[in-house]
RNA sequence: GCGGACGUGGUGGAACCGGUAGACACACAGGACUUAAAAUCCUGAGGCCGCAAGGCCGUGCGGGUUCGAGUCCCGCCGUCCGCACCA
């Protein structure tokens, strides 16, 4: 029968329609079945899907389809992280309303995603910018405010003095506003913030239970939370040197044991003491200003040298009232961490020693190694300006001498906790965190309005539940910078809900991380009239497998963990669901070669479609099609607009089909690593698709001889059956473990075996048909359209998407004869093919008789023989 | 600087608990079919020596543990990622 090539575009369109019409992927809460919630990070509707999306959603779809076939009730939803700055930029630059821009983008990206053939329940689609979503967010936020989880906090914002607008960090480039170019100022502003720091300890402890999260992500979150134990110590300030309102200076230290090595104190430029001293000292004021200015970019910090300014203030050492220590303002002390003040112990801290040497401050060694010559070495190094921060023994430390640093720590803490300074203990133990509270106020239009009203009489008044949602005014203007809500003529003017006097709405909107911190909860009951539905959350949560990029390792995932706890406090979520994500998988990027015009600097990048290749493999060269001039093939990098190394998923789907793109991104590279997109790889994937189709087409024409399984199988037929069932077992295991590249390799092997199988022999037609059916079923999660087409061609009238996962015949997974490697002194010398159940004694005897073994032993006495059943024999001579 | 991951053929990678290293794919070479090409099919291939049989070497480098190490331990080297003056 004449074989037609598999027509991917036609087939894919057809099967997508069938799935839609039969509502195959519609999900209902059904507590009689085990559930599986598979979730990929929802996209930002930027306009077009990219290869990263293709990879992300393919990975999730394979798992979702597999679990469905395994009998799970699968929740696999999709939505849109639809608020954000880009929509407002589009409005500003192109005069399109943010809503129009966003909803248009959603429509086109949804069409693209549908072309991928994902097993998504589109009835559950949500867009965070839609009032039907954010009304619930506003309800919860009000509940959280009522529970004291949110508070008003004065914090710094980037202020553009020309555009009169607040800038996001990404809009500040080299300390200047991205549009105006004006030097950005830091301004204090009252903002709403979540008291996430109250949960620092709990969020840290919770990490230990997340054993299905990558170690890497847990470590990153742990560092971000940054717990450290130390001592708060209040130092009396010499009244002759300090302003009246500053009688003392409180510092935080993790090393109170090194207190006798103190040679200076340092405070942050924004510390109250620095500020009051600067009032009377213009030079100090200038220094503080300089420090503030360089605080903006990480690159500056990296190269900045440690600078200080002696305030003239002297602090009195808490363990020796006769000892006075100078107080500096220093550019490396952070106001946001600890108390914004430190004491410097140069001998034990590299940063402090640099500082001390620069300003001629004493360097007193206080911890040194116990034994020589290490001690002498350490002392020498300290003398040369290299701090010693190891463990050892205390010296030069009065009553601490001879103690270990650990004991000295305890001794200092015990003593200072007892001592009093103006009636209160000098020191207190304190656990400190790097984690800061989560400020959620954004001075933007395209975000969820914070539903409160500011009243001159009543203060801050929550918008009554009956008035929710507070929606965005559609007639806002975007032609000038600044917050459109703030300058809208009428929107913010309302009557106070309490006293009915004129009042104003909050014009700040929420950080979009709030939207994404609970969308996966909303998916469990997207049409509920309340934010959540207890029955649905109880059944569906936690998310069984979450898949997304590593770039969200900290903020999104930490905020989501926090938000689940906050929702627990307000009763919107079961407290047992404090960890809402059971397993996390972080995928690698899709990367591609870069191309640029040869010999031109700065580089002029070229799209892959603008390039013509000559030669093949390692020696291929590129020319620019339009000009015929040579192009340089550059490094392999993440696909990006700036480097133009983009491949449009639409082009691939149009030319090869979605299955081909899916198969490619699953092949070769393990999903957690980067995958290199190559044209050769895509062609290879396409070849495989055609090959499968040919095999299925051939097999479909073999007449079926009854339903009965033959009683006799030729050796070849048996071998094929074993390959099929072993592949079934292996592919199942590898999908469960998300080792899709290994599963793909197994499917190639089965296909190769099937293609090579003879068509005659006892039971062969049965074996071929059986193996083909298994192959198609195993391919179904990965290439669903091709599999449906093959399934139909094989005479089925059902959908493969509705078919259960096949069961492997355990008897076929075990071989009767096995190959045993025989080693002599650990080197492989021979192979033995033996019955599986051969005794160890017989195995040993047969190994010792082998010619190659006898030769290798070379007459030496055999000391012992290691026999590992069913694996190896090692003769030691 | 701190933290983490990784290092296997020409390339992407496989190798479960320490048990035949290099599955599978890409690229390459040779062949078949064809007027020709495409498509398809077959064959080959870690390195070195050898006509071959076969031998030796081989998982970044150097040690160690073990009958046996890509896998475990110690020390280096390199690459990538994250955080970054955190007291």
Task: State pLDDT tens for residues A115-139.
Answer: 999 999 999 999 999 999 999 999 9
A332 CB inside 7 Å of strand B: yes
What span, in angstroms and rounded, lies between the C-alpha atoms of A544 and A738? 13
**Which is nearest to A167 in space by CA: A147, A181, A150?**
A181
Find the residue closest to B4 using CA and C1' atoms.
A216
What span, in angstroms and rounded, lies between the C-alpha atoms of A322 and A316? 7
Confidence check: pLDDT of A170 > 80: no
Confidence check: pLDDT of A592 > 50: yes
A368: tokens are 């040194």
Confidence check: pLDDT of A242 > 80: yes
Confidence check: pLDDT of A299 > 50: no
DSSP-assigned letter for residue A262: -
Distance A220 CA to B83 C1' (A): 8
Q: What is the mean pLDDT of residues A488-509?
A: 95
Find the residue closest to B68 using CA and C1' atoms.
A826
* Nucleotide with C1' nearest the A349 CA: B87
Q: Helix or strand or coil: residue A770?
A: helix
pLDDT tens digit sequence for A245-263: 999 999 999 999 999 999 9
Using an 8 Å Cβ cutoff, are A606 and A596 in contact? yes
Name A673's Cβ contacts closer than 8 Å, sequence gap at least 6. Answer: A588
Q: What is the mean pLDDT of residues A501-522?
A: 95
Q: For residue A617, which phi and psi values (nearest 5 degrees)?
A: 60, -135
pLDDT tens digit sequence for A790-835: 999 999 999 999 999 999 999 999 888 888 889 988 888 888 888 8
A592 CB inside 7 Å of strand B: no
Question: Which alpha helices (H) appear in A116-165, and where do they start and end?
Answer: 131-146
**Sign of the alpha-carbon dihedral angle for A102, A108, A109, A114:** positive
Which residues in A285-313 are b (16+ Cβ under 10 Å) and which e? bebbeebbeebbeeeeeeeeebbbbebeb
A414 CB inside 7 Å of strand B: no
A869 CB inside 7 Å of strand B: no
Confidence check: pLDDT of A302 > 70: no
pLDDT at residue A303, rounded to an integer: 53
> Strand B: which of residues 826-845 in chain A lie with Cβ below 7 A?
826-829, 831
**Which is nearest to A256 in space by CA: A127, A368, A365, A409?**
A409
pLDDT at residue A373, rounded to an integer: 78
Distance A593 CA to B5 C1' (A): 24
Q: Helix or strand or coil: residue A221?
A: helix
pLDDT at residue A294, rounded to an integer: 64
Confidence check: pLDDT of A297 > 50: no
> Strand B: which of residues 758-787 in chain A lie with Cβ below 7 A?
none
Confidence check: pLDDT of A300 > 70: no
Confidence check: pLDDT of A233 > 80: yes
What span, in angstroms and rounded, lies between the C-alpha atoms of A600 and A598? 6
R_g of chain A, CA atoms, integer Å: 35
pLDDT tens digit sequence for A757-794: 877 888 898 999 999 999 999 999 999 999 999 999 99
Least confident residue range of A361-370, A442-451, A703-712:
A703-712
Bridge partners, residue A325, by sequence: A315
**Which is nearest to A453 in space by CA: A475, A470, A473, A476?**
A470
> Strand B: which of residues 484-543 in chain A lie with Cβ below 7 A?
none
Least confident residue range of A184-193, A264-273, A390-399, A660-669:
A184-193
- Percent above pLDDT 70 for chain A: 97
Distance A689 CA to B42 C1' (A): 21
Name A407's Cβ contacts closer than 8 Å, sequence gap at least 6. Answer: none
**Which is nearest to A41 in space by CA: A66, A59, A67?**
A59
pLDDT at residue A298, rounded to an integer: 40
Distance A617 CA to B47 C1' (A): 22
A43 CB inside 7 Å of strand B: no
Contacts of residues A217-224 at CB distance under 8 Å and 24 or more positions apart, as own/partner, are: A217/A550, A217/A553, A217/A557, A217/A584, A217/A586, A220/A553, A220/A554, A221/A553, A221/A554, A221/A557, A221/A558, A223/A434, A224/A434, A224/A435, A224/A554, A224/A558
pLDDT at residue A155, rounded to an integer: 80
- Report the phi/psi class of residue A482: left, alpha or beta, with left for phi > 0 and alpha for psi in -120 to 50: left
A56 CB inside 7 Å of strand B: no
Confidence check: pLDDT of A472 > 80: yes
Find the residue closest to B5 using CA and C1' atoms.
A216
Least confident residue range of A12-21, A456-465, A593-602:
A593-602
- Report the phi/psi class of residue A423: left, alpha or beta, with left for phi > 0 and alpha for psi in -120 to 50: left
Confidence check: pLDDT of A531 > 60: yes
> Strand B: which of residues 679-708 in chain A lie with Cβ below 7 A?
680-681, 683-684, 687-688, 690-691
Q: What is the mean pLDDT of residues A631-657?
A: 87
Confidence check: pLDDT of A392 > 90: no
What span, in angstroms and rounded, lies between the C-alpha atoms of A128 and A141? 15
Q: What is the mean pLDDT of residues A499-525?
A: 95
Using an 8 Å Cβ cutoff, are A720 and A799 in contact? no
A325: tokens are 């220590």
Confidence check: pLDDT of A144 > 90: yes
**Which is nearest to A740 in space by CA: A212, A62, A67?**
A62
Which residues in A406-445 are b (16+ Cβ under 10 Å) and which e? eebbebbbebbeeeebeeeebbeebebbbbebbbbbbbbb
Q: Helix or strand or coil: residue A408?
A: helix
What's chain A's average pLDDT? Answer: 90
* Nucleotide with C1' nearest the A751 CA: B24
Distance A517 CA to B25 C1' (A): 40
Distance A751 CA to B70 C1' (A): 29
> Strand B: which of residues 608-647 in chain A lie with Cβ below 7 A?
616-618
Distance A827 CA to B58 C1' (A): 13
Band (A619; pLDDT cuts 50, 70, 90) = low
Using an 8 Å Cβ cutoff, are A214 and A461 in contact? no
What span, in angstroms and rounded, lies between the C-alpha atoms of A272 and A252? 16
pLDDT tens digit sequence for A331-351: 888 888 889 999 999 988 888
A52: tokens are 């990263």
Residues in chain A: 877
Confidence check: pLDDT of A295 > 60: no
A170 CB inside 7 Å of strand B: no
pTM of the model: 0.93
* Nucleotide with C1' nearest the A336 CA: B86
Band (A603; pLDDT cuts 50, 70, 90) = confident
Nucleotides of strand B within 7 Å of the protein's CB atoms = 3-5, 10, 12-15, 19-21, 23-29, 39-42, 55-56, 67-69, 81-87
Neighbours of A222 (CB within 10 A): 14
HSE-up of A58 (CA within 13 Å, CB side)?
30
Q: What is the mean pLDDT of residues A465-493?
A: 92
What span, in angstroms and rounded, lies between the C-alpha atoms of A807 and A343? 68
């Amino acid at each position: 029968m004449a074989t037609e090539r598999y027509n991917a575009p036609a087939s894919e369109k057809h099967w997508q329609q069938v799935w839609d019409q039969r509502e195959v992927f519609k999900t209902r809460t059904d507590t009689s079945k085990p559930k599986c919630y598979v979730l990929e990070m929802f996209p930002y509707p930027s306009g077009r899907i990219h290869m990263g999306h293709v990879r992300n959603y393919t990975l999730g779809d394979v798992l979702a389809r597999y679990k469905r076939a395994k009998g799970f009730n699968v929740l696999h939803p999709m939505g849109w992280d639809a608020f954000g700055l880009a929509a407002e930029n589009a409005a500003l630059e192109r005069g399109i309303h943010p809503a129009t821009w966003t909803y248009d983008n959603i429509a086109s990206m949804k069409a693209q995603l549908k072309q991928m053939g994902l097993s998504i329940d589109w009835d559950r689609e949500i867009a965070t910018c839609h009032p039907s979503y954010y009304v619930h967010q506003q309800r919860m936020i009000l509940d959280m405010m009522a529970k004291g989880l949110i508070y008003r906090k004065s914090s710094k914002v980037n202020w553009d003095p020309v555009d009169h607008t607040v800038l996001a960090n990404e809009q500040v480039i080299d300390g200047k506003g991205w549009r105006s170019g004006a030097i950005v100022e830091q301004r204090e502003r009252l903002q709403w913030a979540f008291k996430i720091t109250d949960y620092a300890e709990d969020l840290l402890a919770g990490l230990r239970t997340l054993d299905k999260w990558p170690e890497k992500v847990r470590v990153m979150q742990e560092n971000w939370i940054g717990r450290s134990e130390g001592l708060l110590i209040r130092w009396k300030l010499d009244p002759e040197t300090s302003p009246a309102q500053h009688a003392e200076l409180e510092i935080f230290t993790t090393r109170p044991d090194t207190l006798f090595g103190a040679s200076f104190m340092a405070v942050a430029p924004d510390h109250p003491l620095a500020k009051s001293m600067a009032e009377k000292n213009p030079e100090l004021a200038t220094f503080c200003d300089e420090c503030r200015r360089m605080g903006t970019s990480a690159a500056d910090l990296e190269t900045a040298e440690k600078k200080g300014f002696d305030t003239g203030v002297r602090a009195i050492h808490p363990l020796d009232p006769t000892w006075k220590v100078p107080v500096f303002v220093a550019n490396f002390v952070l106001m946001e961490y600890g108390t914004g003040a430190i004491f410097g112990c140069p001998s034990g801290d590299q940063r402090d020693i640099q500082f001390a040497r620069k300003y001629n401050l004493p360097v007193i060694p206080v911890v040194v190694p116990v034994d020589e010559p290490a001690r002498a070495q350490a002392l020498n190094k300290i003398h040369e300006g290299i701090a010693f921060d190891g463990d050892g023994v205390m010296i030069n430390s009065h009553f601490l001498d001879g103690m270990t640093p650990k004991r000295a720590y305890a001794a200092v803490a015990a003593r200072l906790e007892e001592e009093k300074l103006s009636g209160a203990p000098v020191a207190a133990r304190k656990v400190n965190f790097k984690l800061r509270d989560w400020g959620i106020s954004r001075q933007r239009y395209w975000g969820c309005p914070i539903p409160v009203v500011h009243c001159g009489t009543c203060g801050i008044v929550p918008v009554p539940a009956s008035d929710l949602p507070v929606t965005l005014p559609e007639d806002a203007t975007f032609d000038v910078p600044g917050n459109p809500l703030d300058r809208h003529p009428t929107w913010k003017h309302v009557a106070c809900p309490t006293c009915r006097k004129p009042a104003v709405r909050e014009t700040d909107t929420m950080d979009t991380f709030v939207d994404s911190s609970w969308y996966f909860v909303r998916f469990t009951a997207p049409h509920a009239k309340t934010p959540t539905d207890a029955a649905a959350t109880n059944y569906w949560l936690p998310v069984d497998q979450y898949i997304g990029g590593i770039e969200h390792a900290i903020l999104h995932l930490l905020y989501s963990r926090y938000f689940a706890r906050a929702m627990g406090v307000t009763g919107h979520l079961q407290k047992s669901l404090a960890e809402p994500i059971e397993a996390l998988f972080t995928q690698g990027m899709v990367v591609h070669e870069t191309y640029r015009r040869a010999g031109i600097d700065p580089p002029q990048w070229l799209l892959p479609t603008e390039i013509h290749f000559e030669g093949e493999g390692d020696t291929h060269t590129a020319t620019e099609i339009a000009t015929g001039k040579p192009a340089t093939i550059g490094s392999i990098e993440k696909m990006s607009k700036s480097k133009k190394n983009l491949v449009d998923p639409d082009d691939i789907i149009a030319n090869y089909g979605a299955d081909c793109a899916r198969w490619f991104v699953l092949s070769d590279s393990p999903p957690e690593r980067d995958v290199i997109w190559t044209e050769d790889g895509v062609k290879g994937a396409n070849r495989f698709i055609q090959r499968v189709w040919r095999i299925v087409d051939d097999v479909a024409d073999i007449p079926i001889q009854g339903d009965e399984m033959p009683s006799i199988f030729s050796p070849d037929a048996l071998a094929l059956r074993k390959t099929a069932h072993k592949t079934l077992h292996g592919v199942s295991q590898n999908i469960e473990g998300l080792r899709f590249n290994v599963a793909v390799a197994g499917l190639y092997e089965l296909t190769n075996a099937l293609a090579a199988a003879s068509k005659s022999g006892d039971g062969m037609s049965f074996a071929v048909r059986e193996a083909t059916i298994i192959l198609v079923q195993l391919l179904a999660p990965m290439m669903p359209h091709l599999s449906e087409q093959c399934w139909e061609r094989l005479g089925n009238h059902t959908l493969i998407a509705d078919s259960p996962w096949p069961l492997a015949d355990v008897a076929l997974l075990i071989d009767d004869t096995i190959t045993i490697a025989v080693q002599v002194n650990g080197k492989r010398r021979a192979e033995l093919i033996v019955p599986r159940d051969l005794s160890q004694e017989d195995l040993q005897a047969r190994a010792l008789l082998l010619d190659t073994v006898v030769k290798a032993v070379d007459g030496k006495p055999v000391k012992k023989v290691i026999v590992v059943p069913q694996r190896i024999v090692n003769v030691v001579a």
